[in-house]
């Protein structure tokens, strides 16, 4: 049961101008027992409801797959610090092309941190989807294209130097556990290719289907994104490859790879022309498109060390990764 002490209540009331908090409903627990996400219904505020992300350090590790290490704990703590920086210093730059929750307050109280965020459900983004049609995928790719265009060549002060939760430098335990020797030996070269591409942007870092919130009954489908714990600099292909891998079946990945990449780059070109008019969009596409399989192999490297029996480790993923490894060693 979620218990909200006085300091957190005061933070919410001050940030929203509400008289009282009418109800508190836990939406989900945070990974490994680090807190919860709570919907608060308010009285006397222009916000009928807000989202409270409540981060509290656990007394004992409870990682679902047993990766309870000091490094894992430090990485998780850093991720919440990054998310607070993101909402305070970067989120306001996101326009209607890549909607995100607004940040009303960030407050640290002893061993707890709270983020008070606008409620996307109240803004019309009230659908979560486990299965998606092609149109849904395109809407998410458009969001990613707009996001990447918005932050193209941005600094990452306060964020991850290299965005994504599977970044090689932060995953030495999983690399050591990786039994695929060729992939393990190629890991640093894969990382190097992604980090040294000419055009860098901010990547969401965990752009899976579950982190997108869809509009309901609207003439034009829309989507917003949540969960910015692993946002940082990187090649946009990291988000695209990870997102497609989160919502396509193995046979769909191969069949739809070309058309969906074409769609992403067409939308990226339009958003960059609008937001970054000095950038050569053909040059940008040339820089990134050839790194799609590299970005896929980068995540595959993490996944294969972290959970060797994971359902995402399929023949398509192995084939793509093998192609990258062979190319790097040729």
Q: Of all helices (H) and strands (E), which one includes residue 299?
A: helix 292-306
CATH number for the region 6-118 comes to: 3.30.200.20
Give the per-residue SS3 of 161-217. Answer: CCCCCCCHHHCHHHHHHCCCHHHHHHHHHHHHHHHCCCCCEEECCCCCHHHEEECCC
* C-alpha closest to that of 161 among 191, 190, 187, 185: 191
Confidence of residue 65 (pLDDT cuts 50, 70, 90): very low
CATH superfamily of 134-329: Aminoglycoside phosphotransferase (APH), C-terminal lobe (3.90.1200.10)
Q: How far apart are CA 174 and CA 40, in angstroms?
A: 38
Q: What is the mean pLDDT of residues 281-307?
A: 97
Max CA distance (Å), the chain: 67
Q: How far apart are CA 277 and CA 252, in angstroms?
A: 35
Q: What is the mean pLDDT of residues 268-283?
A: 97
Instruction: Count CB atoms within 10 A of the CB of residue 198.
Output: 11
For the stretch 79-121, pLDDT in tens is 999 999 999 999 999 999 999 999 999 998 777 889 999 999 9
Domain spans in the chain, listed from the N-terminal domain onward: 6-118, 134-329
The strand pair at 20-29 and 201-203 is best described as unpaired
pTM value is: 0.94
For the stretch 214-241, pLDDT in tens is 998 777 789 999 999 999 999 999 999 9
Q: Supply 317's token pair.
A: 């993923």
Strand intervals (E) in 175-319: 201-203, 212-214, 223-225, 232-234
Q: How far apart are CA 163 and CA 229, in angstroms?
A: 9
């Amino acid at each position: 049961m979620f218990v909200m002490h006085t300091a957190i209540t005061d933070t919410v009331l001050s940030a929203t101008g509400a008289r009282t908090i009418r109800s508190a409903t836990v939406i989900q627990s945070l990974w490994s027992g680090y807190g919860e996400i709570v919907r608060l219904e308010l009285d006397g505020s222009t916000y009928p409801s807000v989202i409270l992300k409540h981060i509290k350090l656990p007394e004992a590790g409870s990682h679902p797959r047993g990766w309870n290490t000091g490094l894992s704990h430090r990485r998780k703590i850093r991720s919440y610090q990054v998310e607070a920086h993101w909402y305070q210093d970067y989120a306001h730059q996101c326009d209607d092309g890549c909607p995100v929750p607004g940040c009303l307050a960030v407050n640290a109280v002893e061993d707890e941190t709270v983020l008070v965020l606008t409620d996307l459900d109240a803004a019309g983004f009230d659908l979560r989807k486990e299965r998606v049609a092609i149109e849904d995928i395109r809407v998410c790719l458009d969001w990613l294209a707009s996001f990447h265009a918005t932050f193209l060549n941005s600094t990452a002060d306060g964020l991850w130097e290299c965005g994504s939760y599977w970044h090689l430098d932060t995953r030495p335990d999983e690399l050591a556990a990786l039994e695929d020797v060729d992939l393990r030996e190629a890991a640093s070269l894969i990382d190097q290719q992604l980090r040294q591409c000419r055009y860098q942007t901010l990547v969401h870092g965990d752009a899976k289907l579950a982190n997108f919130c869809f509009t309901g009954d609207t003439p034009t489908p829309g989507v917003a994104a949540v969960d910015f714990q692993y946002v940082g600099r990187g090649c946009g292909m990291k988000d695209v490859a990870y997102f497609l891998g989160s919502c396509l079946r193995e046979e769909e990945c191969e069949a739809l790879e070309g058309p969906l990449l074409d769609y992403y780059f067409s939308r990226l070109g339009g958003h960059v022309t609008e937001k970054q008019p000095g950038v050569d969009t053909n040059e940008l596409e040339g820089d990134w498109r050839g790194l799609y399989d590299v970005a896929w192999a980068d995540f595959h490297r993490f996944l294969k060390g972290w959970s060797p029996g994971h359902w995402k480790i399929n023949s398509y993923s192995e084939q793509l990764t093998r192609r990258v490894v062979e190319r790097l060693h040729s």
